[in-house]
Structure 1
C-alpha cells in the first residue's frame, strides 16, 4: 500500500496560522513500498528521493558525517533512560501542533527541551510563544542544522532541508557513558533515504564537544534499551536488518560500541511496521521490565508473542546477576479505521527524571487506569504524566519515538578523531568491485554486461543485458556491433523539459540501449525523471495516482509523492484490492521475440520491432511502428517503392575488370546489380570472370618449321578484317 506521509513542514515552510485540522493518515505501509522496516512512515523527502547511487555518492564524499569508525574505548555503555537526564531533543511538526504543545509543556517541568530544525526558528518560536506557558518557553531552545553540510533532494522537485523526519529517538545520538561520567556518542546507520537525519548525531557531537563513533550496523534507537550496566534489550528485527552478520557478530558489535555484555532478543509485535521494542516494552530499572499484554480477543497472535517475551525474561538475570521482575501492562485496543490498524501503546513513553510521560488515548481509554497502576508499581516515586497522543499514534509512534533524552555527564572528547574502518566508507560491505567503471564485456552465456551500481552496496557489479542467439556477445557488444549504450539499464531522467526517459531497448534497430522518450502531458514538465505539474500542485494526479514506468506517482494531502518501485525489485501497477496504483510484483513472463528481430504487419503498412513494451514486466514484445507515407514494410523495414533492375541471379560484365550480379536488396525489396572486382589474373567476359586465353588455347600451333605456315592464315584474316572496318568507315 502507499506509504504514509508524515508531511512534516520540512521546517522551512512552517505556517504561523492556526493549526490545521489533522488529515486522516494515508493507508499503512506494506512490504511493497518499504525497502526497510520504518519506525514510522516516509516523509516527502524520501518518497521523492533521488537515486540510491546519488545518496551513496554524497555519503562517500563526506566520511566525516558517515564514515565507519572504530569503537569507543572500553568502559563506555549505552546510558539508561531511567538515570538522571538534563535535556530532551525533538523535531517540531506543526501538523501535530496540539501533541507537541502538550509534550513540551509537560517535559519542561523536568528538563530543558531543545528543538532541532532547518531554518525555521522564527516560525516555530512564534507558534510556541502563542501556545506555551512562560515557564515552559523559558526552557526551550533551538538548534538550526540548515547551515551545516546536508543533502538537497532534487527529484521530483527540490527539497532543501537539513532535517528529514520527526523520529528523533531513531536517528538521534545514542549517548554512551563511562565510569567517570563522561559522555560520547554512537551513531549507527539510519535509513539511506533519510540521509540528513543520519548526519545529525555527528553534528550534535560537534556542538556538544563529544566524540562520535559509527558502527556498520542498521539500527534505530526505538529498538533499544540499556540498563547502563551491561544489559541490553532489543528485538530480532535487528538480525533481519543486518543479514550480512551472524547473530554472534551482531552481539559483538553491541558489545564493542554500546558496552552490552548481555543481550536479550525479544520477538517484535507481529504485523506492526517498525519491529521496535518501545512499542511493547519499558525498562523501568535494572531489575524491573514492563512487557505488553493482549487479551485473546484483542490479538491472539500477539498475545502469544508477548507472553513468550515475558516468559523469556521472568526469572532471568541481568549482567550483574540480579533477577528480573516482569510487570505486564495492558495494551490498548489497537483498533483500525479505513486506513488500517493503529498500534496504540502505553509503553511508547519517556522517563524524565522523576516523571514518566505516558501516551494516552482519549477515545480508547478502557485500559488506561490499569496501565497507569502498572507504571506506578514498576516506577515507585515517579509521577506519571499523561500526554494525549491520539493524533500522533497513527503515524507510527508517540512520545518515545519523537524524542531523545540526554544523560547528565561531562562531554568526552578524544585527543584524536577515531580511526576509520573500511577506508572511511559509509558501509563496510563484504563486497568487491566486479568490474571497473564504464567497463563492458561478455558473460559466459553469450550475453553482455555493463558495469554500474544498481543495488544498496557501494560496489560496482556487472549488470547483464541479453544478446540474441544470432548475435552472441563479442568484445562487449552483441555480435560485435559498433554501438555504445547511452545510459545504464532502467536509468530514468529527463530528455528535456517536455520529455522523460527510461533507458532500455526501445527498438531502434541496434543492439545497444538508449533513452526511450515519453512526452509529458500538457501542463507538466520533467524533473528528476518524472512529469510533474508545472504549477507546483498535484494537477490532475489524485490519490489513486498513476504509473510513470516503474515509478508510482500520487497526490497526498496536496503534496505530490513518488516512489520508484524498481528499488524493491517491483514494478508499478494497479492494485485492485486498494483501487490505486502502487508497487506490485512483476508478472512472470517470457520474451515474445528475440532482441534485434523485426517483421512486417498490417499488410506491410507497418513494421514491428522486438523491444521493451513498458507494460509492467521486463519481457521483450513486438512493438508496432507505422511506416511513413509513401513507404511500405519489406523484410521488417519501411522502404520507398522501387523497381527491379534485373533478374535475380543474372550476371553481366560491368567492365573488363568487374562482374555485376543481380541481387535482392533486403532493405528495399528490389533487385539490383552489385559489381564485384574479378580476382587477380582474371577478366570479365561473357558474364563471368575468367583467365585470359593463352597462346595455345583453341589452336594447333606447334614449334619448328611449321610455325610460318600457321601464321599465314591469321595474317590474311586480320588483313580481311581491316578491310571490313575500312569499308564500313567508307560508307
Structure 2
C-alpha cells in the first residue's frame, strides 16, 4: 500500500477546524476571549463560503459555537483542550491504487514538545475521532509531528524543519533517516527538503520551534512561496536569506530546481510582545479560493493578495484579519485542515 498526501490545491471534500475552549490559548480577560472567538469564527465563516466545514467543538462551547457560526457550519462535539486543528488533527492521505479509499495519518501529538504550559491530552485523540467520523483508514505514526510542521507538493516532495522533527522534546532518538522513512511510509514523501530553522518568534516560550507553514509552501509543483522579511532590523531578514539559499539549491521529487517567489512580510515588525512573525505564507487554499492572513496593513495585505492570486490562478483570494491568531502562536493555516476529495491525486480545484 502506498499512501500519498495530496497538495492543498487538490479538491477538498471539506475543511476541519476546532472551536476555542477555555485554556492557555483563549486569553485571560473577557476581551481577549471574545477576540479569540471572533477570529476563529471569521475564518470559519470565510471557509464556509467556499466548501463544507466541520467544526470540532468541546461540549462546553457547543451553544456558543452554534450561535456564532450559524447553521452553515457542521459541529462535531468532542472533548478539547487545544484548538490548533492543523497540528493535532489528521493529515489526510489517498491511496493511488485504491481510488475510493481515504487515509488519516495520526501523528503523535505532545503539545509541541510537552511543555509545562501545554494541555494536549484531549487534542491528541482528535485525529482518531475524525478518522472514525470520515470512515478513513487510520495510519498510526510513531513520529511526534504536527501538520504545521510539513508542507507537500503532492508529487512526493515534503518540506521539513530540523528544529521540529529532530526536536529532542518531540523525537528524542530520531535522526533524519528515521524521519524520512516515516514520511515515506505515512505520506508517500520520496524527497525531503530540510530547512535549518523557522522564524525567530516561533522559538519563544509559546512557539512551535520552527513550523514550516509560516515560512514556505508549495503553491504548485516546482514552485515555492517564501516568507521575505525585508527589514534588516528584524532577525528574520537573515533567516529568510538563509532559507532561500537552501531552497535555491534543492531539487524536488521530479528533479526540478524550485522557482522561488517571495511573499514580503508586513512593514510592522513589532507588537506589544516584541518582534512579530506575521507571515502571508500561512494562508489556506481551498476549493475555488485562498483565505489569506491580514494584518491591518492595507498596502502589504493588497500586495500579498496579488501575489497569491498569481500563484493560485482561478481562485478568489479573501483576506481575514489574523492578528489575534498570530498573537496566540499561529495563523490561518494553523487552525485549518483539509480533507481531500476521493479523486485521482494530482487533480486541482480552481474557481
Normalising to structure 1: TM-score of the pair?
Answer: 0.41
State the match for 2:51 in structure 1. 111
Which of 388, 396, 403 is matched with 2:336 structurally? 403
Between the aligned partners of 1:350 and 1:344, the Cα distance in structure 2 is: 15
C-alpha contact (below 8 Å) 2:157/2:192 kept by paired residues? yes
Q: Distance in 2 between matches of 1:332 and 1:296?
A: 10
Asked if the contact 1:169/1:222 (under 8 Å) is kept, the reply is: yes
Which structure 2 residues correspond to residues 612-631 of structure 1 after superposition, within 5 A?
none
Aligned to 1:79: 6
2:347 paired residue number? none
**Which structure 1 segments of 5+ residues have no match?**
1-72, 130-136, 146-161, 411-731
Between Structure 1 and Structure 2, which shows a larger proportion of helix residues?
2
Of residues 177, 180, 185, the one that matches 2:94 is 177
Cα deviation for residue 401 of structure 1 reads: 0.8
Aligned-pair CA distance for 1:334: 5.3
Q: Is the 8 A contact 2:201 2:275 kept in 1?
A: no
**Aligned pair count?**
311
Cα offset, 1:197, TM superposition: 0.6
Conserved 8 A contact 2:62-2:77:
yes
Partners of 2:186 and 2:66 lie apart in 1 by 37
| C-alpha distance in 2 between matches for 1:268 and 1:365 | 26
Per-residue displacement from partner, 1:110-152 (whole Å, max 9, x unpaired)? Answer: 11011101224333212333xxxxxxx33x111112xxxxxxx
| Equivalence for 1:245 | 174
Instruction: State the match for 1:213 in structure 2.
Output: 139
Distance 1:302 1:341, change over 3 A: closer
1:394 aligns with 2:327: yes
Post-superposition Cα deviations, 1:266-315, rounded to whole Å, max 9, x if no partner, equal 1312342221111121210111110011124342x322221222222236
Alpha-carbon distance between aligned partners in 1 of 2:44 and 2:147, rounded to the nearest angstrom: 21
* Cα distance change, pair 371–337 in 1 and its aligned pair in 2 (3 A): closer
| Structure 2 unmatched runs, 5+ | 21-32, 344-351
CA-to-aligned-CA distance 1:501-535 (integer Å, 9 cap, x gap): xxxxxxxxxxxxxxxxxxxxxxxxxxxxxxxxxxx
Does residue 187 of the first structure (1) align with residue 106 of the second (2)?
yes
Which residue of 119, 124, 128 corresponds with 2:65? 124
Please give the alpha-carbon distance, in whole angstroms, between the structure 2 residues aligned to 1:337 and 1:271. Answer: 11
Instruction: Report the Cα distance in structure 1 between the residues aligned to 2:275 and 2:257, rounded to whole angstroms.
Output: 36
Residues in 2 aligned to 1:398 and 1:234: alpha-carbon distance in whole angstroms: 18
Q: 1:293 aligns with which of 219, 225, 228?
A: 228
Deviation digits for residues 222-249 of structure 1 (CA, Å, limit 9, x no counterpart)? 1111122211112112112323022112
Tell me if structure 1 keeps the 8 A contact 2:45–2:69: no
> RCO (CA 8 Å, sep 6+): is it higher in 1 or 2?
2
Is the CA contact (8 Å cut-off) linking 1:343 and 1:394 kept in structure 2?
A: no
Q: In the alignment, which residue of structure 2 is the partner of 1:65?
A: none
Q: What is the distance in 2 between the residues matched to 1:337 and 1:224?
A: 27
Cα distance in 2 between the residues matched to 1:393 and 1:292? 15
Asked if 1:264 is matched to 2:193, the reply is yes
Instruction: Check conservation: 1:361, 1:390, Cα contact below 8 A.
Output: yes
On the 8 A contact 1:334/1:343 being kept in 2, the answer is: no
Task: Work out whether residues 201 and 276 of structure 2, in 8 Å CA contact, stay in contact via their aligned partners in 1.
Answer: no
> Is the contact made by 1:333 and 1:344 (CA closer than 8 Å) also made in structure 2?
no
Structure 1 segment 430-445 matched on structure 2, within 5 A: none
Match of 1:215, SS?
strand
Q: Quick check: 2:193–2:250 contact (8 Å CA) kept in 1?
A: no
Q: Give the drift of 1:368.
A: 2.2
Partner of 2:151: 225
Larger Rg: 1
Contact 1:334-1:341 at 8 Å conserved across structures: no
Alignment pair present for 1:302 and 2:231: no
Residue 332 of structure 1 contacts residue 365 of structure 1 at CA under 8 Å; is this kept in 2? no
Corresponding residue to 1:91 among 3, 7, 18: 18
Moved more, 287-296 or 169-178: 287-296
Q: What is the alpha-carbon root mean square deviation over aligned residues?
A: 1.9
